[in-house]
Structure 1
Amino acid sequence: MNSAFRMRRLSATVRDFGAHARQRWYLYLPVFAIWGFAYTRLFIDPTPRVPLLFNWTPSLPCRVALLQYGPTALKRGDYVVFAFDGEAQARYPGLRGQPFFKIVRGLPGDRVSVEGRAVAINGEIVGQAKAHAYDRQALEPIDATVIPPGHYYVQGTSPDSFDSRYRSSGLVRADQVLGTVIPLF
């Protein structure tokens, strides 16, 4: 086979597939949409007109939410998006500024205590700290403390969530919070 014949054959194959995909676009659109977001952990639409947030991790039960930008007085149970700025930046430099989507579990003045690997806020156990991350690096639970002013204890609903249970993630400062979230579905 000469190269001109192979090029014509390849061109015909691509043209036939294009015609097939145009006729069955409804099958390919969801596949390409899922593929397009497959490696995106969290995507925030930067246009202020439609501040949608897409959560592709099991850290929280909702997948799509509205993001309300700006500072606000946070309450226990609020969903927030914040820019990561913990000690783990040395081990995971790609996390710097990465938006995280969590629930506020502890407010300034609350007491965080740790017994073994069980983390509690004001005496109520809120989760267990894992011993190792997915990459097998050791994870230390957060130190027992009273949450200082301007800081929050945040946590995901998944036992694998990287959140305030761990010393390397730590408490979230108020200036790290990008906004609050209203879950849609």
Structure 2
Amino acid sequence: MLEAIYSHLARRAAMYLWMLVVFVAFGRYFTLTINVSDSLPGTVFLVQKGAKPGKGDLAAFRYNGGGPYERGSLFLKRVAGMSGATVTSHDVGYGYRDYFVDGEFVGRAKPLSKAGKPLKPGPVGLIPEGHYYMAAPNPDSLDSRYALVGWVRDSQIVGRGIRIF
């Protein structure tokens, strides 16, 4: 039995070595992530590590912590605004606020989470240098509409996201 395994490995050593090289190289520049929430359409995403996203791109970033998720959790959202853009919000009643980036609607913030906990509204004003405003189409998405996420610093960005399926 061991002889058969050794023989197999010896005959295919080059192939296994190349597979290892490809696996290591892929992991250095890319990561696969699975979307476990309803915040974005899609389930599996490829993240190109170190690639800076532009407006409208998907971006993966590390969460600062607080609320229902651990610090360092990987979030994937769409870049709705970048440094220099203006974020405004309007009270629409009963604690709900509509958010706009440069006049474009990006989402409605709720006063309470699904679990019934109060949610503080996210920042408004000029997006600071080196920061992003992240959004997702789902009304329950935890994104820049809420203080728990707020502006996302450039240093939190892992890379640009690409939807696989």
CA RMSD between the two structures: 1.8
After superposing on structure 2, the runs of 4+ consecutive aligned residues of structure 1 that deviate more than 6 Å are none
1:179 and 1:160 map into 2 onto residues whose CA distance is: 23
For 1:53, the equivalent position in structure 2 comes to 33
Q: 1:140 Cα shift?
A: 2.2
> CA separation of 1:66/1:143 partners in 2, compared to 1, >3 Å: closer, same or farther?
closer
Partner-residue secondary structure (3-state), 2:155: helix
Contact 2:30 2:49 in 1 (8 A): no
Q: Describe the superposition over 1:36-69 as per-residue Cα deviations: whole angstroms up to 9, x where unpaired.
A: xxxxxxxxxx934762221121111111121111
> CA separation of 1:49/1:121 partners in 2, compared to 1, >3 Å: closer, same or farther?
closer
Alignment match of 1:158 (pick from 115, 127, 138): 138
Q: Would you tell me which structure has more helix in proportion to its own residues?
A: 1
Q: Would you tell me which structure has more strand in proportion to its own residues?
A: 2
TM-score, length-normalised on structure 2?
0.75
Contact 1:108 1:146 in 2 (8 A): yes
Partner-residue secondary structure (3-state), 2:137: coil
Structure 2: segments with no counterpart, 5+ residues: 1-25, 92-96
The 5-angstrom pairing of residues 1-185 of structure 1 reads 47-48=27-28, 51-72=31-52, 74-85=53-64, 89=66, 91-92=67-68, 94-116=69-91, 117-185=97-165
> CA separation of 1:122/1:49 partners in 2, compared to 1, >3 Å: closer, same or farther?
closer
TM-score, length-normalised on structure 1?
0.67
How many residue pairs are counted as aligned between the two chains? 135
Structure 1: segments with no counterpart, 5+ residues: 1-45
| Percent identity for Structure 1 against Structure 2 | 37
Q: Describe the superposition over 1:9-58 as per-residue Cα deviations: whole angstroms up to 9, x where unpaired.
A: xxxxxxxxxxxxxxxxxxxxxxxxxxxxxxxxxxxxx9347622211211
Q: 1:130 Cα shift?
A: 0.7
My pick for the range that moved more, 107-116 or 136-145, is 136-145
Partner-residue secondary structure (3-state), 2:27: coil
1:125 and 1:180 map into 2 onto residues whose CA distance is: 22
Greater Rg over alpha carbons, structure: 1
> CA separation of 1:49/1:145 partners in 2, compared to 1, >3 Å: closer, same or farther?
closer
Q: 1:135 Cα shift?
A: 2.2
